[in-house]
Amino acid sequence: MTRDHGDNKRGPLADESEPDWRDSYAAAFPGSSAEEVTVDTLANMSALPDSSHGPDTDAEDELSEPARRPGYLGESARIGKYAVLRQLGEGGMGVVYSAYDEELDRRVALKLIRPGRDNSPANQARMQREARAMARLSHPNVVQVYEVSRFEQQVYLAMEFVQGRTLGSWLKAQPHTWQQVLDVMVQAGRGLSAAHQADIVHGDFKPDNVLIDEHEHARVVDFGLARAAPRSEPGLSASGLRRDAAAADPAASGRVSIAGGAVGAMGGEPEHRHTSESDDGVPLLDPGRSGGGRVAGTPAYMASEQHAGRHADARTDQFSFAVTLYSALYGHHPFAGGSLLELVINVSDGKIRPPPADSPVPAGVHAAIVRALDRDPEYRYATMSDLLDALNRGSGRARDPEFDLSVARPQRVMLSMIIPASILAITVVLIVYSPEGSLLPSAASNAIAGAVINVVLFGLIFAYRGNFFKNTINRRVMAWLVVSSLAMLVHRTAAVVLGTPVATTMVNDLLMLGAIATMAGIAIERWIWYAAGVMLAGALLCAAFPAVSSLILVGSLVAVFLLAFRFWSR
């Protein structure tokens, strides 16, 4: 199912099932929930109820194309090399279309400045800034930008088309366990982390800016408010934020200011005021009329420093991520009150609503979220990666480093391909040079084949010893393979000395290897039990069909390494 890449008109906490949130924000901030927050809109805010994860509307109904309006592109329109297919969505800043790239034969998403929106150099620069920010990222959890160009005097973005839905719609489509929610959010967190490592602050992370495809793979979208991470932050102490929050006294005046670092009555000059610009000259905090200011972002997901008009950094994105995760896990906003003003005050005071008493979410996950929601950025996690690590530890998903199978995974996968290929090659040689009319090798050539396999195995282990010996689990896996290979060589050498028939040797080989694999399945990885079952079944087949026992043995060993490939490449 297709979704808008970030500019939908949506409510701040969920999607279609939240008319109160959506309507109140639409009334307060005409055009988009991501629109700049002006000082004149706060007094009229209505109540902010809990978010809902109720049933979603039908996907096709959601995406049905609206009636053609002046300035909007229809199905016959062309934008450069792209043929427009349909409109996907729109917001205060942009409109997104599904389109077809005729040159590269692929579907793309095109984002243009919305008709009726001021096509000023500043807005065009904002689109270019978004393109530059996304183009600097190459990560599986960030939507890829293909091209930024101009069409009839305006900038457009050609982006990766994602067949999926927003996080809000995904949550409402059907019930999800807290583990499933955490999994997709951690994926989105990795995308944010990649942006931060590229010195990019998203600035507007929320459910509408997370797309989840049919494989439950999450991608972060809409870097329209992205900016370069500031080199140094102004003072963001808890005392300063408390002072700002204390100034927010709605009884003092009918108008409330969010300007230049203070939330307070319009009567006085803000204590902190500054205007900053991005690298392309687009103001990030614009001076407003009547001494007020404008703060870019979606209010329900903005950190206290954003509400106060201060510079956003990676810790600001971390706060927005934590708000989104809290809402997704518990079904209500962590700070929502009776109005937007109350929400801002709750954020500034750090008043987090408690989770439901019957919530199955582990206490460790909750503790990590609460720290990321701290009103003082200095008390949040140092990086997004640190928060993700804490969530994994709190959920019990993080592995002991000594038993982390992600270590040396590529090397194990390579080994699982090379060893069976070697076995098959040796088998071909043995069959070609076997006695005429027989598929069984001689006892001596059987032992030599075992020696060759040992040489290949030991050579691979030695070549990748720096990876294979990094932690306990990999050392155990290598020990299993070495013991199995050496045991087979010793057994075949003994068979030559004792004059044991080759067919019997094959049966004994598989019985012995199956027994070793059974023990390895207990001590190392459970999937090895499947390998044990394959080899023990092969032993029975060898006993039943001794004339083709060599082929059965080879097939059993290849099947074992195919199992290894499947489980090690996950």
- pLDDT tens-place string over residues 407-457: 898 999 999 999 999 999 998 888 777 665 577 888 899 999 999 999 999
pTM score, two decimals?
0.53
Q: Is 111 annotated as a binding residue?
A: yes
pLDDT in tens, 314-323: 999 999 999 9
Q: How far apart are CA 33 and CA 557, in angstroms?
A: 59
Most distant pair of Cα atoms in the chain: their distance: 104
* Mean pLDDT within 520-545: 93
The dihedral through the CA atoms of 116, 29, 9, 129 has a sign that is positive
For residue 122, pLDDT over 60 is answered with yes
Q: How far apart are CA 334 and CA 263, in angstroms?
A: 20
- Please, are residues 88 and 62 in contact by the beta-carbon 8 Å criterion? no
* DSSP 8-state secondary structure symbol assigned to residue 193: H
* Mean pLDDT within 198-227: 83
The dihedral through the CA atoms of 263, 269, 271, 276 has a sign that is positive
Average pLDDT, the chain: 75
Report residue 130's pLDDT band, with 50, 70 and 90 as the boundaries: low
Report residue 386's pLDDT band, with 50, 70 and 90 as the boundaries: very high
Give percent of the chain with pLDDT exceeding 90: 38
What's the CA dihedral at 216, 217, 222, 225 to 10 degrees? 110
Is 249 a catalytic site residue? no
Closest CA to 398 of 362, 428, 440, 439: 362
- Please, are residues 306 and 312 in contact by the beta-carbon 8 Å criterion? yes
Annotated catalytic residue within 15, 204, 313, 317? 204
Burial string for 459-470 (b: 16+ CB within 10 Å, else e) reads ebbeebeebbee
Q: How far apart are CA 170 and CA 303, in angstroms?
A: 25
pLDDT in tens, 308-367: 888 888 999 999 999 999 999 999 999 987 788 888 899 999 999 999 988 999 999 999
pLDDT in tens, 286-315: 333 333 344 567 888 999 988 888 888 899
Report residue 74's pLDDT band, with 50, 70 and 90 as the boundaries: low
What's phi and psi for 344, nearest 5 deg? -60, -45
